[in-house]
Amino acid sequence: MKAIVNIFLKPGVLDSQGKAVHHALDSLHFDTVKDVRIGKQIVLQLDESDKEKAMADVTKMCEELLANTVIEDYNIELV
């Protein structure tokens, strides 16, 4: 089973990397972009067939290591 974890800054947390990309897009005349937020994606290949167990394990991984839950949110997709 594969787990796809998307991690992104919580609303209200300054995203300096997103601001830099937004500025660069503006300078390239992509005027329709209103805002940019940068995140990260982690793809985990799991040796687990039980979806509930896999979700619990990946959630624990996110809470303990993969995401800084003070300033980041995350979502998990099992495929």
The full set of domains in the chain, from first to last, is 2-78 (3.30.1280.10)
Query: Residue 74, SS3?
Result: strand
Tell me the per-residue pLDDT of 52-71, one tens digit each, with 9 for 90 and over.
Answer: 999 999 999 999 999 999 99
- Do 46 and 1 contact (CB within 8 A), yes or no? yes
- Do 71 and 47 contact (CB within 8 A), yes or no? no
- Do 74 and 62 contact (CB within 8 A), yes or no? yes
pLDDT number for residue 44: 98
**Which of 62, 52, 17, 55 has the alpha carbon at shortest distance from 35?**
17
Token pair recorded at residue 57: 């394990």
pLDDT number for residue 43: 98
Tell me the per-residue pLDDT of 8-50, one tens digit each, with 9 for 90 and over.
Answer: 999 999 999 999 999 999 999 999 999 999 999 999 999 999 9
